[in-house]
Amino acid sequence: MTIAIPQNEIRLEDYRPTDFVLLTVDLAFDLDPQRTIVTSTIAMARREGVDREAPLTLDGDELEFVSLKINGVDAEPHAVTPDRLEIRGLPATGEFTLEIVTAIAPASNTKLMGLYSTNGVYCTQCEAEGFRRITYFLDRPDALAVYTTTIRADAKAAPLLLSNGNPVDSGVLGDGRHFVAWNDPHPKPSYLFALVAGDLGVVEDDFTTASGRKVKLAIYVEHGKEERAAYAMDALKRSMRWDEERFGREYDLDIFMIVAVSDFNMGAMENKGLNVFNDKYVLADPDTATDADYANIEAIIAHEYFHNWTGNRITCRDWFQLCLKEGLTVYRDHEFSADMRSRAVKRIAEVRLLKAHQFPEDNGPLAHPVRPRKYSEINNFYTATVYEKGSEVVRMIETLLGRDDFKKGMDLYFERHDGDAATIEDFVACFAEVSGKNLDQFFLWYEQAGTPEITVASQYEPSTQTLRLELEQSIPPTPGQSSKQPMHIPLRVGLFESNGEPASPRAIEGIEADGDVLNLRERTHTVRITGVKSRPAISVNRSFSAPVNVRQQQSDRELAQLARIETDLFSRWQALNDLAMRHLVSATQKAESGEAASANRELTDCLCAVLADRTLEPAFRAHAITLPGETDIAREIGNDINPDAIHEAREALVAQIASHGRDLFEEIAAETRPAGDYSPDAASAGDRALYLACMSHLAVASGDPSGPLSLYRSADNMTLLSGALAMLAHRFPRSPEAEEALADFEARYRDNPLVIDKWLTVQATIPGADALSRVKTLMDKPHFQLSNPNRVRSLIGTYASGNPTGFNRADGAGYDFLAGIVIDLDPLNPQVAARLLTAMRSWRSLEAARREKALDTLRKIARVEKLSTDVRDIVDRMIG
């Protein structure tokens, strides 16, 4: 019998401001790996109107209390534990100072939250609640203060001492120690605090802002890796310029620093003036990074930089408002990448990602609104919903308002809320105000979880040249929200006449239409569109104007036609994808009943036509011929999933396409075969993507690993090399060719952990039940370390969430293995452990036998007595 341990649930409606306000914070660190002494001197005052007797309660987490002074005089706290410091009898009015001394041990901080050490470098991660692992504090985003930080450390071990803001003092101390002091003039919450100390190499540059201020730029990396930071530096400068041009946002300190570290729980962190990055998102050169790595670096450098305004200058009132900074900043980085690369291709990639990660989350036990109303562990809410759906919600505001009013709304937001800890209401009010539009119903996008489903039925009357559309929206129930209100959904719709030309309707009745945007507000709309001269092909949700599922009766012919004639490139891809999806779903059904998949001329012809169309950019064609993934197919099928049947069906279709289009694949491969020096730009990357897609189909068509092997041997950049490696390992596992390449790759890159991660991932994602024993063997290799999040994610994370057949073994051994890792890792690094476990979030959609095994495993985890709040929260919500 399991006893549910009551969780400490935090609720949005319980928000109240602090009783005390911060004025300044002076931090002094005496760095030592085993025992760092932190002296925090806080000037503060009781907020006006607050009870004169009210105590001050500060947050802590695993802290050792050393001493307390009030206004310079030794004092005793009313109560103190590692997690909490309570002080009573503070002055009723006026300013006072607290001096709090704590002791912490960075070298044994395996949670990588607070101050920890990684490869001999001290570094911090404070978002969301890591600052309380450094000192007792009002560790919440609405407690802003100006910080001064003095770092004292051994000069040899840590020649470099960094914190937020501008350096203001430095000098030599006795005993071989030295110090540097930093001052950050911009008030900030504690989650944006950062400290880095160690011996690192640096790449320096500068940037002159629009108003002519010269800003020093510095990227710190391990010695010897400086050259690999060049692309990150370039991306940073482009980001700074773009934010000025697009949003009028200038940088606001004299120096901007980025530090790359090798042990990091997430991608990167936007600490004021001192961003800390997972080195995976900084380091790149053609020999070690793929095109995808370059694109990620560009996007994440931009993302963290953009936070300087959307997150730092304007921060969040509380953690329920996380999407205020994350959704908006993802929107901004998406726009940046779209401007740097191909907009349509970027949109396709975004939507693929959204559907692969956010849609399943929204459709399972972990579903939550973009702005949740309760949480028991905030770390578990850095989700695809808050980030990616949050970004889509901002994009919808832009769609509703148009580009100009959207820009005005952003300007108003920056002007009105600079220096504030704001809410989603504050943000949306700016757009309502500048546009005069009522966004009350739209606000439900922040409050209702679940992916809306829109069904579209159409009827064309030739005699009156009228098209009737029946539109119906419904939102599935999600945890804690059984019934939903209809939402305001901006749905872009295009009509194409039988001659392929876009229709130009005379009138649209029954719905508020704005250009090609239909504003759905009711559960159902009957729309009459007149002046449509022939029965049109109907393209719904063009450029993915809303994050919804569309159900529409369409024949293969109509989809194929749209794939040919849509003027919106994204929608051409969408049509192809929908067409492929329906064949994949029916092929899966056949595989389940043991039938062979039949040939699909409509689909293969359609794919080949796009492949052959040289007017289309190669990156688009590469996307177009890549079938939906196994997880996408599972999502489409929805329940009673048998991952083996999906795999079999998809493989059969890939084989059909490969053999049907063989000559064309040869031809296109010859045209796109890379020549000359590697360049990471989007067009060259697109050529490589198309080339690899062709090579992969050719390998399938020939059934011969020698093609990919010679590609492997001749590759002169990581994109081609790892692409060839994946073809060999996935298509020809256990072949001598695959073994040769895997062994060569390991030998070549054994000293580069980030590249070894690719080697781990390739093997963890080899389809089939054998994957588990491979993963176990790889765990015993010296390359693997449970303490390093990148290694764990590359091997175990990709096995559990990127290998449907390997992980969902019918015997449940994949689930049990994951449970074992989660339980072992939990005491070391609960955040990463909890994240790994989310790989099982769609367990309820599996077929009965696997579902039962998955539930057994989840129950087994739930029975463990000492689980972190992170894992406890996930497992409880998953069992539900």
Distance, in Å, from the CA atom of 432 to the CA atom of 435, rounded to the nearest integer, reads 5
- Which of 145, 232, 266, 495 is the binder for ligand ARG (CB under 6 A)? 266
Residue that the structure tokens 């044994």 belong to: 108
Q: Does residue 269 bind ligand ARG (CB under 6 A)?
A: yes
Shortest reach from residue 379's CB to ligand ARG, in Å: 4
In 549-612, alpha helices (H): 556-565, 569-592, 601-612
Nearest residue (CB) to Zn ion, 267 versus 629: 267
Nearest residue (CB) to ligand ARG, 379 versus 829: 379
Nearest residue (CB) to ligand ARG, 379 versus 765: 379
- Which of 128, 301, 728, 839 is the binder for ligand ARG (CB under 6 A)? 128
Shortest reach from residue 127's CB to ligand ARG, in Å: 5
Shortest reach from residue 303's CB to ligand ARG, in Å: 6
Ramachandran sector of residue 500 (left: φ over 0; alpha: ψ -120 to 50; beta: rest) = left
Q: Is there a catalytic annotation at residue 304?
A: yes
User: Using CB distances below 5 to 8 A depending on partner kind, what does residue 568 bind out of Zn ion, ligand ARG, none?
Assistant: none
User: Using CB distances below 5 to 8 A depending on partner kind, what does residue 379 bind out of Zn ion, ligand ARG, none?
Assistant: ligand ARG
Site stretch for ligand ARG (CB under 6 A), options 28-36, 145-153, 264-272, 449-457: 264-272
Nearest residue (CB) to ligand ARG, 141 versus 806: 141
Q: Which residue is nearest to ligand ARG (CB)?
A: 382
In 682-717, alpha helices (H): 682-702, 706-714
User: Using CB distances below 5 to 8 A depending on partner kind, what does residue 128 bind out of ligand ARG, Zn ion, none?
Assistant: ligand ARG
Shortest reach from residue 795's CB to ligand ARG, in Å: 20
Angle formed by the axes of helices 643-660 and 569-592, to 10°? 120
Handedness of CA 417, 420, 426, 427 (dihedral sign): positive
Which DSSP helix (H) or strand (E) runs through 337?
helix 322-340
Q: Does residue 837 bind ligand ARG (CB under 6 A)?
A: no
Distance, in Å, from the CA atom of 300 to the CA atom of 164, rounded to the nearest integer, reads 20
Considering only residues 316-345, where is the footprint of Zn ion by CB under 5 A? 326, 329
User: Using CB distances below 5 to 8 A depending on partner kind, what does residue 317 bind out of ligand ARG, Zn ion, none?
Assistant: none
CA atoms within 13 Å, Cβ hemisphere of 352: 17
CA 581-454-637 angle, 5° bins: 35
Tokens of 329: 């900043």
Nearest residue (CB) to ligand ARG, 113 versus 565: 113
User: Using CB distances below 5 to 8 A depending on partner kind, what does residue 127 bind out of ligand ARG, Zn ion, none?
Assistant: ligand ARG
Q: Does residue 379 bind ligand ARG (CB under 6 A)?
A: yes
Distance, in Å, from the CA atom of 674 to the CA atom of 687, rounded to the nearest integer, reads 7
Q: Does residue 281 bind ligand ARG (CB under 6 A)?
A: no
User: Using CB distances below 5 to 8 A depending on partner kind, what does residue 693 bind out of Zn ion, ligand ARG, none?
Assistant: none
Distance, in Å, from the CA atom of 327 to the CA atom of 321, rounded to the nearest integer, reads 10
Nearest residue (CB) to ligand ARG, 650 versus 841: 841
Q: Are 491 and 508 in contact (CB under 8 A)?
A: no
User: Using CB distances below 5 to 8 A depending on partner kind, what does residue 281 bind out of Zn ion, ligand ARG, none?
Assistant: none
Comparing CA positions, the residue from 293, 302, 186 lying closest to residue 234 is: 302
Nearest residue (CB) to ligand ARG, 646 versus 833: 833
Through-space distance between the first and last CA atoms of the chain, rounded to whole angstroms: 16
User: Using CB distances below 5 to 8 A depending on partner kind, what does residue 578 bind out of ligand ARG, Zn ion, none?
Assistant: none
Comparing CA positions, the residue from 614, 624, 615, 625 lying closest to residue 662 is: 625
DSSP per position, 261-314: ES--SSSEE--TTEEEEEGGGT---TTT--HHHHHHHHHHHHHHHHTTTBTTTB
| Greatest distance between any 2 Cα atoms in the chain | 95
Q: Which are the contacts of 137, defined by CB distance < 8 A and separation ≥ 6?
A: 40, 42, 58, 59, 131, 143, 190
Q: Which are the contacts of 541, defined by CB distance < 8 A and separation ≥ 6?
A: 454, 491, 492, 493, 548, 550, 571, 574
Site stretch for ligand ARG (CB under 6 A), options 86-94, 162-170, 261-269, 794-802: 261-269
Shortest reach from residue 268's CB to ligand ARG, in Å: 6
Nearest residue (CB) to ligand ARG, 299 versus 668: 299
Q: For residue 128, say if its preceding peptide bond is cis, omega within 30 degrees of 0.
A: yes
Angle formed by the axes of helices 601-612 and 643-660, to 10°? 60
Q: Does residue 489 bind ligand ARG (CB under 6 A)?
A: no
Nearest residue (CB) to Zn ion, 327 versus 494: 327
- Which of 27, 181, 219, 268 is the binder for ligand ARG (CB under 6 A)? 268
Site stretch for ligand ARG (CB under 6 A), options 41-49, 176-184, 266-274, 697-705: 266-274
Task: Give exposure, 550-580, as e/b (b: 16+ Cβ within 10 Å).
Answer: bebebebebbbbbbbbbebbbbbbbbbbbbb
User: Using CB distances below 5 to 8 A depending on partner kind, what does residue 657 bind out of ligand ARG, Zn ion, none?
Assistant: none
Q: Does residue 624 bind ligand ARG (CB under 6 A)?
A: no
Binding mask 281-320 for Zn ion (x = CB under 5 A): ----------------------------------------
- Which of 263, 270, 361, 388 is the binder for ligand ARG (CB under 6 A)? 270
Comparing CA positions, the residue from 454, 414, 316, 381 lying closest to residue 834 is: 381
User: Using CB distances below 5 to 8 A depending on partner kind, what does residue 350 bind out of ligand ARG, Zn ion, none?
Assistant: none
Q: Are 454 and 477 in contact (CB under 8 A)?
A: no
DSSP per position, 391-431: HHHHHHHHHHHHHHHHHHHHHHHHHHHTT-EE-HHHHHHHH
Nearest residue (CB) to ligand ARG, 111 versus 484: 111
Nearest residue (CB) to ligand ARG, 286 versus 327: 327
Shortest reach from residue 378's CB to ligand ARG, in Å: 7
Q: Does residue 127 bind ligand ARG (CB under 6 A)?
A: yes
Nearest residue (CB) to ligand ARG, 486 versus 830: 830
Shortest reach from residue 45's CB to Zn ion, in Å: 32
Comparing CA positions, the residue from 74, 63, 162, 156 lying closest to residue 103 is: 63
User: Using CB distances below 5 to 8 A depending on partner kind, what does residue 321 bind out of Zn ion, ligand ARG, none?
Assistant: none
Shortest reach from residue 870's CB to ligand ARG, in Å: 10
DSSP per position, 60-128: -SSPEEEEEEETTEE---SEEETTEEEE----SSSEEEEEEEEEE-GGG-TT-SEEEEETTEEEEE-TT
Site stretch for ligand ARG (CB under 6 A), options 45-53, 71-79, 192-200, 262-270: 262-270
Q: Position 87: which residue type?
A: I
Site stretch for ligand ARG (CB under 6 A), options 13-21, 263-271, 421-429, 856-864: 263-271
Q: Does residue 308 bind ligand ARG (CB under 6 A)?
A: no
- Which of 99, 318, 326, 636 is the binder for ligand ARG (CB under 6 A)? 326
What is the total count of residues that contact ligand ARG (CB under 6 A)?
11
Tokens of 591: 């595989």
Q: Position 238: which residue type?
A: R
Q: Which are the contacts of 459, defined by CB distance < 8 A and separation ≥ 6?
A: 467, 468, 470
Nearest residue (CB) to Zn ion, 335 versus 566: 335
Phi, psi (deg, nearest 5) at residue 465? 50, 45
Distance, in Å, from the CA atom of 261 to the CA atom of 241, rounded to the nearest integer, reads 26
Catalytic residue among 127, 298, 304, 377: 304
Shortest reach from residue 387's CB to ligand ARG, in Å: 7
Residues within the interface to ligand ARG (CB under 6 A):
127-128, 266, 268-270, 303-304, 326, 379, 382
Give catalytic residues, as residue numbers.
304
Residues within the interface to Zn ion (CB under 5 A):
326, 329
